[in-house]
Structure 1
Amino acid sequence: MAEPEFYARVSARAGVPPDDARALTQATLRTLAERISGGEAAELSAHVAHELRPLLARPRTDDPEAFGYDEFLRRIAERAGVSPAEAERGARAVVQALHRVIGPAAFHRALSQLPARIGELAQPAPRG
């Protein structure tokens, strides 16, 4: 999936303008790369548009940082310049778009390294 199409998908899923979708995508991919191993980050980067690959770039030998859901969203919100609620919607949209791009096997390998609550972003948002 080309970079503009990825951003458009995130924009539609998160209900945000395209510029916000770009910022949320970049923030989420950078934060995700910090939370998974360098090898898994490299595996994911092989499946995304060329322009998005640097966001997942890390040495393969790097161990993931250990942080939970709240810190995951805090980092995304800070990087994207959005509220925590917008960060959560955006992260959910990015993770779901990423799942579609990389396929189930690679996606589940990467998500297996995440706390369950972060992995749950791959599920549709609860309706309330």
Structure 2
Amino acid sequence: MNYDTFVDQVALRARVPGERAVELTRATLETLAERLTGGEVLDLAAQLPKPLQLVLRPSPDTEAADRFGAAEFVARVGQRAGLDERAAREAVRAVFTTLREAVTGGEFDDIVVQMPRDYRDMVEPALAPGAAVPRRP
């Protein structure tokens, strides 16, 4: 999936303009990079378009995953993107669903395995049959 398609899919799913979808994607991926091990971040980045790879570039101090729950994940995304909790949760769902569509070879499943159960309400919509098909308003 190319960058423009990724952003367009997030925009459609989150019901926001393209510029805002870029911000939501960046905030979610930056937070995801903090939550995953460095190796998993690199595996994920390898399957994404260049602009998204740059967001996911791990640093030496991010080799180990920062273990935080879903509420903290949503709070970090909300802080980065200037969103309240409900809007941040919806943004994360939109990005996760698009991410699942964009990667191959079980990479999304590898990400999900690193997430505790409290992430379920954000991750399961991305795993549901038909989740990759965005709904038009």
Normalized against structure 2, the TM-score is what?
A: 0.84
Aligned length: 125
Instruction: Measure, in 1, the Cα distance between the counterparts of 2:100 and 2:48.
Output: 10
Q: Which runs of 4+ in 1 moved over 6 A?
A: none
Tell me, yes or no, if the aligned pair for 2:42 and 2:56 is still in contact at 8 Å. Answer: yes
Render the CA deviation track for 1:71-122: whole Å, top value 9, x for unaligned: 0000000101122111111100101100011125111111101112325423
Moved more, 34-43 or 52-61: 52-61
Query: How far does residue 59 in structure 1 lie from its aligned partner after superposition?
Result: 4.3
Corresponding residue for 1:10? 10
Corresponding residue for 2:111? 110
Identify unmatched segments of 5+ residues in structure 2: 127-137
Tell me, yes or no, if the aligned pair for 2:112 and 2:123 is still in contact at 8 Å. Answer: no
Instruction: Measure, in 2, the Cα distance between the counterparts of 1:4 and 1:25.
Output: 12
Instruction: Measure, in 2, the Cα distance between the counterparts of 1:35 and 1:77.
Output: 15
Tell me, yes or no, if the aligned pair for 1:39 and 1:59 is still in contact at 8 Å. Answer: no
Corresponding residue for 1:96? 97
> Cα RMSD (Å) of the superposition?
1.7
SS of 2:106's partner is: helix
Instruction: Measure, in 2, the Cα distance between the counterparts of 1:66 and 1:6.
Output: 27
Q: What code does the residue aligned with 2:88 have?
A: A
Tell me, yes or no, if the aligned pair for 1:73 and 1:88 is still in contact at 8 Å. Answer: yes
Equivalent pairs: percent with the same residue? Answer: 35
Corresponding residue for 2:83? 82
Q: What code does the residue aligned with 1:18 have?
A: G
Instruction: Measure, in 1, the Cα distance between the counterparts of 2:57 and 2:64.
Output: 13
Identify unmatched segments of 5+ residues in structure 1: none
Normalized against structure 1, the TM-score is what?
A: 0.90
